[in-house]
A and B are shown apart, each in its own frame.
Chain A
Amino acid sequence: MTRLVIHAGTHATDARAICGQLASWRGRLDTLGVRLHPDDPEAWADDIRALADDEAPPALVETAHRALRDGKTMLLLSSEGLEDSLREPADIASLGAFGRAVGMGVTVLCVLRDQLGYLNELYCDRVIRLQTAKSFASFAAAPDPARRFDYGKAFDVVLGGDELGFVAVPYDQMQDGTQGRTLLEAAGVPSTATASLPAGSTREPLPGPVLVAACRLLFKRAWRLGMFNRLPRGRLLDAVATLRRRSDEQAWDDAPFWGWSEPLRQVAIARYQPGNDVLASALWGRSWGESWESGRYVDLDLAASSSALVVDVLLTIDGLIKDLKAEKTEKAALTAENAGA
């Protein structure tokens, strides 16, 4: 019997590193009876999204049939983008329908991280992608989408139905470089089999507080000048890449960003602990516990930072803004010229 196991994140739980590791173990996993999506990880998300949308890609259907024919114990798919589908009955039904269509029982596998680490990483990710310029406190006070973070209810749909099995792994049980092994073990692959899998991709380091601050400033200045509407997003992200390089060269930061001041942390724990306990009890028969992530909180006050740093940050961003402005002007001129022609 071949099972379909879908690793659905959650977000900020090293999904990219996990996918990289799984792909690098493809041959070995096959000998262990675990079949992966046939393409590279970059292509996985769209196909798996299509499954949830009830539009199974032919290549995936074919892969499932082959896994069955080849007597594999598991077809393992992975996309953190599927996390939000776990709250959508229609998506759950589509995944179940696909399993039935190819003759496989479906199990969803999630990595669960406490909300402190989750929100901290999510915030960094959104700032670096120029999706937000809010302060961390403001972001964490009303995270979006809110339902992701209330673990007391977030998994009600998938846990309450009988379409899919659900297995969850605590994030703090995973070692960087071998997260994929822990995941496979949670999916039922014996640890004696996974032990031989070499360490692989590691998680991307978080940006530091100064780089986060610089990205927020870049976002706000670019927004003010209307660049989000008039330049390709990729061009703005190139500017972030320049900031990142500058940050590395000039050693702007000596620690990763951690936005939880102690008072904020206490408020968050009080908010999330009850729901986490409900989920942990349902999944693991115990309370969530007290092992919340921690980090070194830096109350970055750019104006009171070192003078050299302030000069470097302000001039670098001003230079980037001038470049972007020049491109915007050039683009507008070209558009006008084309319209005239």
Chain B
Amino acid sequence: MRRVVVFMGGPRDATAAVQRTLPGLVETLAEVGVVVPESGRVDSPGGGFSHQPLEAGPIVGWAALRSELDSAPGDSALLVIPGLVRIGSAATHRLAMLAELSALADDVSLVSVVGDQLTLLNDLYLQQVASWRMSKRLAGAVSRLLTNVLLDHETSLRPWYADNRARYAAVPMSGFMAENPVAAVLHAAGVDVPAGLPPATAAAPLRLGPIGVEANRLLSTYLRAEVADFRPDDPGIAAASRVALTRADRLDWCGNTFWGFTRRAAEKVLARYEVSNHRFARAVWGTDWTLPYPLERACTQVDFLDLDVKVIDQVHRFVLAMAEKVSHDLQVTP
């Protein structure tokens, strides 16, 4: 195999779009010499698949993958390992991964999608609220969320792009979804793909809207008193939070409408990343960071008590009903 392209992750929507689009393109890609290996595939909860187990290190699956690629027709292979963006600072793990990848092909290209930190933080907050890890307002949660090293592209990705054993390319999130996401990844790595692939049509992962955020913040606080030893990582709790998300969607409380930053708060966050974003962009793209920051987006975070009478009634009943269900399910589920 001459070249292996690895999609190493990015914002939640980008990763989900790649995973969901990929299954429908496997045959088309094979026709132009791009193999999507069977080895290491795992279904993603949101649809599609990735090669996530490979992320675990040099032990699982690599031999099978090498064997599959040795006998595969084609010039290039595409692997989807979204967890890679997270292990940049874990030198041992990263070097082991690079060694395994280098053993697969002569040329290794790593591709990630990068976006502005405000959108990333907003998304991160929504994920934490939906999984009942967070019950504060975004303003109160920001200091904790900012400890996530992935928000600093330079710090989290430099170990990859500074290592000459692999080529690294970054695709800006803005515009990424307009193109076919798999084609965008391959283009970034310099692989030719047929023109005219359809853009991403897969639905974006469910996101809580402003009312959904309030309902889940209240619910998770409530559950902490009602469920003994409440831990969001517990599989039963995690499953229940997904049920709550689905119910919130049925109540029309989901959608890409939540924005937790005021202009002032957004500017404060950006001040932290402006310099490192420029350094990252110069190192990777050879230019200053020019991706837009959504500073004009209006804050839509609401307060439970300010909700309309109809909605507040629904939220109150939703919280009590979900709490009863979760308590009951956890009692009857061993």
Binding site for B on A (CB under 8 A): 133, 135, 138, 213, 216-217, 220-221, 223-225, 301-305, 307-308, 310-311, 314-315, 317-318
Contact = CB atoms under 8 A, between A and B. Distances in A.
13 contacts: A135-B303, A217-B305, A220-B305, A220-B307, A221-B312, A224-B309, A224-B310, A301-B137, A301-B303, A304-B135, A307-B223, A307-B224, A315-B320
Interface stretch (B52-60, B116-124, B213-221): B213-221
B272 interface: no
Interface residues of B, number: 25
A301 to B, nearest CB: 6
A111 to B, nearest CB: 32
B226 A311 contact: yes
Given A217-B305, A303-B304, A304-B140, A310 B221 contact: yes
Given A310-B225, A314-B218, A314-B316, 14 more contacts: A135-B305, A217-B312, A220-B309, A220-B313, A223-B309, A302-B305, A303-B135, A303-B221, A303-B304, A307-B225, A310-B221, A314-B319, A317-B316, A318-B320
A217 B316 CA distance: 9
A314 B305 contact: no
Contacts of A305: 221
Contacts of B312: 217, 220-221, 224
B305 A213 contact: yes
Contacts of B226: 307, 311
Nearest to A303: B217
Interface of B: 135-137, 140, 214, 217-218, 221-226, 303-307, 309-310, 312-313, 316, 319-320
Contacts of B222: 307, 310-311, 314
Contacts, number: 69
Nearest to A225: B313
Nearest to B218: A303
Nearest to A212: B305
Contact of B305 (A216, A310, A315): A216
A315 B327 CA distance: 15
B313 A303 contact: no
Contacts of B136: 301, 304
A318 B304 contact: no
The B interface, classified by DSSP as helix, strand, loop or mixed, is helix
Nearest to A216: B305
A304 B316 contact: no
Contacts of A135: 303, 305-306
A308 B225 contact: yes
B316 A318 contact: yes
A318 B315 CA distance: 12
A10 to B, nearest CB: 28
A90 B247 CA distance: 60
Nearest to A318: B320
A111 B312 CA distance: 39
A318 B323 CA distance: 14
Given A217-B305, A220-B313, A301-B137, A307 B320 contact: no
Nearest to B213: A303
Nearest to B314: A224
Contacts of A304: 135-137, 140, 217, 221
A41 B60 CA distance: 85
A307 B226 CA distance: 8
Contacts of A315: 320
B220 to A, nearest CB: 8
A57 B113 CA distance: 82
Contacts of A225: 313
Contacts of B140: 301, 304
A311 B223 CA distance: 9
A50 B218 CA distance: 50
A135 to B, nearest CB: 5
B225 A221 contact: no
Contacts of A314: 218, 222, 316, 319-320
A195 B296 CA distance: 63
Contacts of A223: 309
A310 B319 CA distance: 11
Contacts of B307: 220
8 closest cross-chain pairs (CB), A and B: A307-B225, A303-B217, A307-B224, A224-B309, A224-B313, A303-B218, A220-B309, A311-B225
Contacts of B306: 135, 138
Contacts of A301: 136-137, 140, 303
B231 to A, nearest CB: 14
Contacts of B316: 217, 221, 314, 317-318
A173 to B, nearest CB: 36
Nearest to A222: B309
A310 B218 contact: yes
A138 B307 CA distance: 13
Contacts of B304: 302-303
Contacts of B313: 220-221, 224-225
Nearest to A315: B320
Contacts of B224: 307
A107 to B, nearest CB: 44
A202 B185 CA distance: 73
